[in-house]
Amino acid sequence: MATDNETKFSIVSTIEAIDEAVVRTVEFATVAGFRDDAIFGIDMAVREAVANAVKHGNKLDSTKMVEITLIGLVNGIEIMIRDFGEGFDVDQVPDPTNPENLLKASGRGILFMHNFVDQVAWERHVGGGTIVRMIKRLL
């Protein structure tokens, strides 16, 4: 489904499909007026969120989809990424900036998302799975 200010699509839960979600989101953000520096951040945040949905949410189960919704706002875009996994508590993910966690791989994607978009939040979907909701504002 697509309108001038909203696009919805799904990808299969494979590593190879992550690029499709990123490319389509970057195209949407470019049309919305974002420049190269912001596009880089949007690319990174979406890449991490979709990778987490594919790997951790849907556990690489290619029978499960990842749903992506892109909404044009007056002053930016909203990006929603939904998986169909069991969910998780974001507060239980170790802080990668804590000295005891510096060499651990987990948590870095969440840190990237926080650094590259203006708002990021996680919520449980009533029909199952987790939704990552990100907002990036135009300057």
pTM for the model: 0.88
For residues 13 and 102, which has the higher predicted lDDT (pLDDT)?
13
* pLDDT one-digit tens code per residue, 70-106: 999 999 999 999 999 987 666 666 665 666 655 566 6
pLDDT band for position 33 (cuts 50, 70, 90)? very high
What are the beta bridge partners of residue 134?
Answer: 79, 120
- The overall average pLDDT reported for the chain is 89
Residue 2, pLDDT score: 47
Tokens of 45: 């945040």
Residue 111 confidence (pLDDT) above 90: no
Lowest mean pLDDT among 46-50, 65-69, 99-103: 99-103
Q: Which of 107, 124, 133 lies closest to 46, judged by CA?
A: 133
Mean pLDDT of the region 48-55: 94
Q: How far apart are CA 101 and CA 87, in angstroms?
A: 22
Its CATH architecture, for the domain 6-137, is 2-Layer Sandwich (3.30)
Domain coordinates of the chain in residue numbers?
A: 6-137
Alpha carbon distances (Å) from 52 to 15, 22, 57, 83: 10, 13, 6, 9
Contacts (Cβ under 8 Å, ≥6 apart) of 23: none
Task: Give the range with max mean pLDDT: 2-16, 61-75, 88-102.
Answer: 61-75
